[in-house]
């Protein structure tokens, strides 16, 4: 699959991950309120169904959308049931293990999640999504050195990803570096962002440095600025990254600045 198909993913969060990636403007990634990382091959499914409007494809797509909705609502058991129905229609689709791994990640069953993501990678070895999900799994488990290396490799292996995706991954690299006290390396990574960017990476980077210094008032000020300038769907993935780093408790921002 061409990485160009993968648009920016906004996220649905609910204390862990499901990155439902759909190509913009098709998607609003499972937009959530805490963290569900559902980074599926949804873009492929959606585009395939658009090109081949047959009943089976439509049913599969609708089931995957149901999985996304249920995951966003925190109904993981129901999401797994819907996913089983989708698997009956397309048992060889790499979307299935990718989605199942995302649900298990949301359930904090990391061993099963990793098994599923590895299966998705075997089925679609050149795809971005399972590689990202495996890397994100390392990040969630606090394996920051491994996550930093893998996120950096993704940037090298997929040089044409959109700026929104690239910035998010670069931000994750920076947080990994800060969590390892690699401040000088993080300072170098920080140079990738400016306040003129169309993503909130610059503001969250400033907040991350403040959190690393345990300067919570400054960090909150930068989060407030991000919430003033960007909408919550744009900020959600960054807030989630900070949450998984145990620097904030939820992805919400003050009501006065959220949009």
Q: Which helix (H) or strand (E) holds 13?
A: strand 12-13
Exposure string (b/e) for 25-60, b if CB count within 10 Å is 16 or more?
eebbbbbbbbbbbbbbbbbbbbebbeeeeeeebeeb
Burial of 160 (C-beta count, 10 Å sphere; 0-12/13-18/19+) = exposed
The tokens of 35 are what? 């963290």
Is the overall model pTM greater than 0.85, yes or no? Answer: no
Domain boundaries, the chain: 3-141, 166-244
Task: Check residue 233 and give its pLDDT.
Answer: 87
The token pair that represents 236 in the structure block? 């959600």
Residues 23-72: pLDDT tens digits? 222 223 333 333 344 444 343 434 444 444 557 888 999 999 999 899 88
Can you give the pLDDT of all 259 residues of the chain as single tens digits?
A: 223 223 333 333 333 343 433 322 222 333 333 334 444 434 343 444 444 455 788 899 999 999 989 988 889 999 999 999 999 999 999 899 999 999 999 899 999 999 999 999 999 899 899 999 999 999 999 999 999 999 999 999 999 999 999 999 999 999 999 999 999 999 999 999 999 999 999 999 999 999 999 999 999 999 999 999 999 889 999 999 999 999 998 655 444 333 3
- The sign of the CA dihedral 57, 62, 163, 214 is negative
Q: From 2, 5, 8, 34, select the one nearest 241 (Cα to Cα).
A: 34
- DSSP letter (8 states) at residue 249: S
What sign results for the dihedral spanned by CA atoms 157, 162, 168, 174? Answer: positive
Which has the closest alpha carbon to 251: 228, 233, 132? 233
Q: What is the CATH number of domain 3-141?
A: 1.25.40.10
Q: Using CA atoms in the order 98, 99, 105, 109, what is the torsion angle rounded to 10 degrees?
A: -90
Report how far apart the first and last C-alpha atoms of the chain are (Å, whole number).
34
Residues near 76 by beta carbon (within 8 Å), at least 6 away in sequence? 70, 103, 106, 107
pLDDT for the residue 251 = 59
Query: What does the alpha-carbon distance between residue 140 and residue 159 come to, in Å, rounded to a whole number?
Result: 24
Residue 1, classed as helix, strand or coil, is: coil
Give the integer Cα–Cα distance in Å for 79 and 56. Answer: 19
What pLDDT is recorded for position 252? Answer: 53
How far apart CA 217 and CA 87 sit, in angstroms, is 48
């Amino acid at each position: 699959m061409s990485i160009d198909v993968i648009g920016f993913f906004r996220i649905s969060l609910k204390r862990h991950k499901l990155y439902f990636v759909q190509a913009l403007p098709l998607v609003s990634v499972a937009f959530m309120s805490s963290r569900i990382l559902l980074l599926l091959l949804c873009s492929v499914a959606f585009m395939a169904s658009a090109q081949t409007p047959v009943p089976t494809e439509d049913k599969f797509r609708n089931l995957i959308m149901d999985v996304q909705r249920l995951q966003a609502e925190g109904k993981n058991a129901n999401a797994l049931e819907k996913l089983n129905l989708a698997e009956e229609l397309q048992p060889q689709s790499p979307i299935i293990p990718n989605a199942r791994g995302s649900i298990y990640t949301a359930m904090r069953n990391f061993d099963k999640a990793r098994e599923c993501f590895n299966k998705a990678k075997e089925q679609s070895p050149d795809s971005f999504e399972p590689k990202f999900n495996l890397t994100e799994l390392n990040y969630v488990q606090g394996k920051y050195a491994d996550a930093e290396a893998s996120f950096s490799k993704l940037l090298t292996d997929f040089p044409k990803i959109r700026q929104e995706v690239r910035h998010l991954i670069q931000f994750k690299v920076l947080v990994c570096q800060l969590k390892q006290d690699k401040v000088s390396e993080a300072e170098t990574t920080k140079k990738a962002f400016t306040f003129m960017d169309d993503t909130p990476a610059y503001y969250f980077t400033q907040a991350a440095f403040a959190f690393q210094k345990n300067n919570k008032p400054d960090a909150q000020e930068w989060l407030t600025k991000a919430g003033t300038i960007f909408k919550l769907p744009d900020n959600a993935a960054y807030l989630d990254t900070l949450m998984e780093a145990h620097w904030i408790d939820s992805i919400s921002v003050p009501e006065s600045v959220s949009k």
